[in-house]
Amino acid sequence: MAKASRYLGQALLYALFFLPIAWLTHQPTHTHLEPGMAELKIAVRHAGKIIGQCGTDNSAPEVLLPEHVTRPEICPRERSPLQLELLLDGETLYRATVAPSGLHNDGVSSMYRRFRVPAGRHHLALRMNDDAAREGATWELVAPIELAPAQVLVATFKEGFRLQ
Q: Whole domain around residue 15: which residue ranges?
A: 2-163
Q: Please give the model's pTM, rounded to 2 decimal places.
A: 0.70
Q: What is the pLDDT of residues 103-128, one digit of tens each?
A: 888 889 999 999 999 999 999 999 99
Counted domains in the chain: 1
Spatial separation of the C-alpha atoms in residues 45 and 154, rounded to whole Å: 13
Say if residue 130 is exposed, middle or buried (CB neighbours under 10 Å; 0-12, 13-18, 19+).
buried
Mean pLDDT, contiguous 10-residue spans, the chain (164 residues): 86 91 82 88 89 71 64 78 92 92 88 94 93 87 92 90 88
